[in-house]
Amino acid sequence: MKLVHTILLCVVIVFVLASILCHIIALFTSYWLRSSSDKQVNFLNIGLFNACFDDYIHPHENPAKVYDGCDGLSSDTYEVIRDWLVPQWLVACRIVAIIGLILQLVGLVFIILLLLWIICKCVFCDDRDDLCEKILIYATPIIFIVAGMFIMMAVMIFADNAFRLQCKDFWLGGADPFDNHLSWSWNFEVAATVLTFISGGFLIWVVVLKARDDY
């Protein structure tokens, strides 16, 4: 049965690495929201930390300033329009996404430790139940399920608020929120959510097998 545990954990590591990769790509690329080029040409795309414009002029900024190129949302370039460009819901989206990444990394460390622990027990023919092993087995699926929930919150918060009316206009959409659409960075975050939950599911399977062995 130790062999089954080892194989399952190896499969989980593959899913975990894929989920972390998707999550990192989503976090550090700026294509969560993208303009429909046939309708709007000034706004190009935006992510959680960067935005790109093409000779954009904010309609309610006085005096008017032209924004061109890609810059970080926390840079001095967007200082005047930051309250509009980075609403509170986007800050919340950042926070839950980063928490999700931290939990993923912690969970990955736990899985690697658990895998090494099981391999060492197989090599030395040690069948004793250890407290550390139990803690790792039961804590790791919880970590990944919670991580998946945080990443899912980031997906839902962004998708729900990106097209809502904000102050006088729709966020980055002017008079028509459908001038923009969710893009591939957001899709990577969706993939990260699914892969994280799948990882949690496999880890729950490991817990079930462990409980069956103990019984």
| Residue 121, domain extent | 2-34+84-214
Average pLDDT, the chain: 84
Is residue 79 in a domain?
no
Q: How many domains does the chain have?
A: 1
> Domain for residue 49, yes or no?
no
**pTM (two decimals):** 0.86
**Cα–Cα distance for residue pair 18/192, rounded to 1 Å:** 8
Beta carbons within 8 Å of 46's beta carbon, 6+ residues apart = 30, 32, 33, 52, 73, 172
174: DSSP letter: B
20-45 as b/e: b if 16+ CB within 10 A: bebbebbbebbbbbbbeeeebebbbb
- Which pLDDT tens digit goes with each residue over 31-69? 999 887 665 567 788 899 998 888 777 766 667 778 888
Residue 145 lies in a domain: yes
| Per-residue model confidence as pLDDT tens digits over 85-139 | 888 899 999 999 999 999 999 999 999 988 888 777 776 666 666 777 788 889 9
77 within domain boundaries: no
Taking each helix axis from N to C terminus, what angle separates 88-123 and 131-161, rounded to the nearest 10 degrees?
160
CATH number at residue 100: 1.20.140.150
Residue 52: inside a domain? no
Query: Running DSSP on this structure, what letter comes out for residue 86?
Result: S
> Is 144 domain-assigned?
yes
135 and 26 in contact (C-beta within 8 Å)?
no
Instruction: Say if 73 falls within a structural domain.
Output: no
Domain contains 47: no
How many distinct helices (H) and strands (E) make up the chain?
Answer: 5, 7
